[in-house]
């Protein structure tokens, strides 16, 4: 590590953040968070229990009932949240380094994508705060009815480790803008940046108790939040399996609302009318190998027209072979580690199983990509299964690693059928130079986002989310506000 200010180890916050202050866990237990790129321990973090979750929910509810935030003028909420966005920017180096170290992410990406994105997205929601209007209903002349969107109360936000700060902001932006209190449980692999965010929120002027951050185990703190009878809504991003647990928690407790951003197995369909196949190959490789494939909307299934399959596969392999694992703080590194050696080992076991299945096709492994990487890190070579059958397990199961399948098709209908053939429906990409085909494909593809001539198009101005077992309830855009509000009708009779 060099000694520039941007890479000196931050002074991590490691206690629970409840009611505007750092406090230890009730039983004083701690867990270790490590840097997946080196295997080194970074910090011992307080491990929240059900009692700590209860403390945080009480603090959120008390703040909500006080009205200090929930009934504050929207223009005030705008000012405070915009100040928080400013503070994220002022502390950008520290936050980018924290997520790079804690999540094994590339500093070149946390500093250019995660942290600036988090600040910009938060500011976008802040700016919306005083631009949202209610409705007047078209009633008969003797009555008057208006409809207002009111904050729900206490939001439980449960997030994954792949974009710690960004995932937090995706939930906090709309939840706080609309006046709710939040109890946020970060992933155990990456609690550090979000703990700091809690403190920055207080510095920005958020009243105590409005944002509480409680790290802790999924099966303890996460479950306690899901089952808590005074939590009004859960906003979850993570795996489909854990998402289903939250539906059960809700039905076993108070019927709280549940919004789920879960897994994916996104198809990237490349037609033979594409002139610039190099651009398509660049993005096909990026679509799966960016962040070593640990992206819910990763384009993990490449579906290529048979006329160009051989040529295009060679181009994608060329790009995969050029990836380099190494020091995650070095700009030249392009292939980060997986989130843990445990995750890497279980994915590798999966890959060995898939390799035994004749339907998986022919396997390519880019061993040279990881030859210089720290052996203590959780690095994994990119893998490509060429000629995989769409129904093969390797094409059906979310892997969450640098693993691509390539399947060929001959007709547009077949491409649609293959792309839609998984239990997920999160994202899809289409490459074509034919405008009408692009629209036709978008109509037929089951996906929350269809990216045309790019991969993984995403912006705060457009919804992000899926259907089927990818979940429901979109993040981002003004639609996300609807998840954190309830509509109230006020009817004035006998005018």
Quick note: the x/- pattern for Mg ion over 91-110, rule CB under 5 A, is: -----------x--------
For Mg ion, give the closer residue by CB, 13 or 301.
Answer: 13
Report, in Å, the least distance between residue 30 CB and ligand NAP: 14
CB 262, CB 185: distance < 8 Å: no
Q: How far are the Cα atoms of 30, 193, 267 from residue 47, in angstroms, in the given order?
A: 5, 16, 38
Handedness of CA 215, 163, 205, 151 (dihedral sign): negative
User: DSSP 3-state assignment of 477?
Assistant: coil
Closest CA to 123 of 196, 175, 177, 49: 177
For ligand NAP, give the closer residue by CB, 175 or 317.
Answer: 175
Which residues, 6 or more positions from 38, have their beta carbon under 8 angstroms from its beta carbon? 374, 376, 377
For Mg ion, give the closer residue by CB, 98 or 422.
Answer: 98
Start-end of H helices in 160-304: 164-177, 192-204, 223-227, 240-252, 277-289
Q: How far are the Cα atoms of 175, 309, 363, 388, 454 from residue 394, in angstroms, in the given order?
A: 37, 19, 11, 8, 24
Closest CA to 183 of 229, 255, 235, 237: 235
Size of the site for Mg ion (CB under 5 A): 3
Among 24, 218, 387, 463, which residue interacts with ligand NAP (rule: CB under 6 A)? 218
Among 19, 49, 111, 162, which residue interacts with ligand NAP (rule: CB under 6 A)? 162
Residue 38 near Mg ion by CB under 5 A: no
Among 62, 66, 139, 239, which residue interacts with ligand NAP (rule: CB under 6 A)? 239
Beta partners for residue 428, in sequence order: 267, 450
What distance in Å separates the CA atoms of residue 368 and residue 371, rounded to the nearest whole number? 5
Quick note: the x/- pattern for ligand NAP over 266-305, rule CB under 6 A, is: ------------------------------x---------
For ligand NAP, give the closer residue by CB, 178 or 237.
Answer: 237
| Contacts of ligand NAP in 140-159 (CB under 6 A) | 158-159
- C-beta atoms surrounding 412 within 10 Å: 17
What distance in Å separates the CA atoms of residue 173 and residue 480, rounded to the nearest whole number? 9
| Contacts of Mg ion in 223-242 (CB under 5 A) | none
Residue 182 near ligand NAP by CB under 6 A: no
Choose the stretch contacting Mg ion; rule: CB under 5 A; options: 29-37, 56-64, 322-330, 445-453: 29-37
Report, in Å, the least distance between residue 42 CB and Mg ion: 6
For ligand NAP, give the closer residue by CB, 70 or 162.
Answer: 162
What distance in Å separates the CA atoms of residue 478 and residue 208, rounded to the nearest whole number? 26
Beta partners for residue 184, in sequence order: 157, 213
Is-catalytic flag, 261? yes
Chain centroid to CA 32: 22
Choose the stretch contacting ligand NAP; rule: CB under 6 A; options: 49-57, 198-206, 233-241, 301-309: 233-241
Choose the stretch contacting Mg ion; rule: CB under 5 A; options: 32-40, 201-209, 253-261, 471-479: 32-40
Distance from first CA to last CA of the chain, Å, rounded? 73
Residue 320 near ligand NAP by CB under 6 A: no
Is-catalytic flag, 296? yes
For Mg ion, give the closer residue by CB, 189 or 261.
Answer: 189
For Mg ion, give the closer residue by CB, 33 or 266.
Answer: 33
Instruction: Choose the catalytic residue: 94, 109, 261, 398.
Output: 261
Name the token pair of 462. 């457009």
For ligand NAP, give the closer residue by CB, 111 or 291.
Answer: 291
What distance in Å separates the CA atoms of residue 405 and residue 142, rounded to the nearest whole number? 64
CB 120, CB 129: distance < 8 Å: no
| Contacts of ligand NAP in 245-264 (CB under 6 A) | 245, 261-264
Residue 219 near ligand NAP by CB under 6 A: yes
Name the token pair of 442. 């978008």
Q: Using CB distances below 5 to 8 A depending on partner kind, what does residue 33 bind out of ligand NAP, Mg ion, none?
A: Mg ion
What distance in Å separates the CA atoms of residue 482 and residue 36, rounded to the nearest whole number? 36
| Contacts of ligand NAP in 186-205 (CB under 6 A) | 187-189
What distance in Å separates the CA atoms of residue 408 and residue 430, rounded to the nearest whole number? 14
Residue 169 near ligand NAP by CB under 6 A: no
Closest CA to 85 of 55, 45, 121: 121
Residue 341 near ligand NAP by CB under 6 A: no
Q: Using CB distances below 5 to 8 A depending on partner kind, what does residue 102 bind out of Mg ion, ligand NAP, none?
A: Mg ion
Which residues contact Mg ion (rule: CB under 5 A)?
Answer: 33, 102, 189
**What positions carry a catalytic annotation?**
261, 296
Binding site residues, ligand NAP, CB under 6 A: 158-162, 185, 187-189, 217-219, 222-223, 226, 237-239, 242, 245, 261-264, 296, 398, 400, 426
């Amino acid at each position: 590590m060099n000694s520039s200010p941007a890479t000196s180890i931050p002074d991590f916050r490691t206690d629970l953040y409840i009611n505007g202050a750092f406090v230890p866990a009730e039983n004083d237990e701690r867990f270790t968070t490590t840097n997946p790129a080196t295997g080194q321990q970074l910090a011992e973090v307080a491990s929240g229990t059900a009692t700590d979750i209860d403390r945080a929910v009480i603090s959120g509810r008390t703040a909500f009932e006080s009205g200090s935030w929930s009934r504050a003028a929207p223009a005030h909420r705008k000012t405070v949240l915009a100040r928080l966005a400013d503070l994220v920017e002022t502390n950008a180096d520290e936050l980018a380094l924290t997520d790079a170290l804690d999540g094994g992410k590339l500093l070149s990406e946390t500093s250019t994508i995660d942290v600036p994105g988090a600040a910009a997205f938060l500011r976008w929601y802040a700016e919306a705060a005083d631009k949202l209007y209610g409705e007047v209903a078209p009633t008969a002349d003797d009555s008057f009815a208006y409809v207002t969107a009111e904050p729900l109360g206490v939001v439980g936000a449960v997030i994954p480790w792949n974009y710690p700060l960004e995932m937090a902001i995706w939930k906090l932006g709309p939840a706080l803008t609309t006046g709710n209190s939040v109890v946020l449980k970060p992933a155990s692999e990456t609690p550090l940046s979000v703990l700091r965010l809690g403190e920055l929120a207080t510095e920005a002027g958020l009243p105590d108790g409005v944002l509480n951050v409680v790290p802790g185990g999924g099966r303890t703190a996460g479950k306690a939040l899901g089952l808590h009878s005074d939590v009004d809504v859960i906003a979850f991003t993570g795996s489909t399996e854990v998402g289903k647990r939250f539906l059960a928690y809700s039905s076993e407790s108070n019927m709280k609302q549940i919004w789920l951003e879960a897994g994916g197995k996104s198809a990237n369909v490349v037609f033979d009318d594409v002139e610039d196949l190099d651009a398509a190959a660049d993005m096909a490789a990026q679509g799966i190998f960016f962040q070593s494939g640990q992206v819910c909307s990763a384009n993990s299934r490449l579906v290529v027209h048979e006329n160009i399959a051989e040529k295009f596969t060679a181009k994608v392999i060329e790009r995969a072979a050029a990836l380099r694992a190494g020091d995650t703080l070095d700009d030249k590194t392009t292939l980060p580690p997986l989130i843990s050696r445990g995750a890497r080992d279980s994915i590798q076991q999966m890959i060995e199983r898939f390799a035994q299945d004749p339907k998986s096709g022919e396997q390519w492994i880019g061993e040279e990509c990881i030859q210089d990487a720290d052996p203590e890190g959780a690095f994994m070579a990119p893998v490509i299964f060429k000629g995989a059958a769409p129904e093969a397990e390797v094409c059906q199961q979310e892997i969450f690693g640098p693993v691509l399948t390539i399947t060929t098709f001959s007709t547009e209908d077949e491409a649609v059928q293959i792309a839609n053939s998984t239990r997920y429906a999160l994202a899809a990409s289409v490459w074509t130079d034919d405008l009408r085909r692009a629209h036709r494909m978008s109509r037929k593809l089951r996906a929350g986002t269809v990216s045309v001539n790019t991969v993984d198009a995403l912006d705060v101005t457009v919804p992000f989310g899926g259907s089927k077992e990818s979940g429901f309830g979109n993040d981002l855009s003004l639609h996300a506000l609807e998840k954190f509000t309830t509509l109230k009708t006020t009817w004035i009779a006998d005018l």
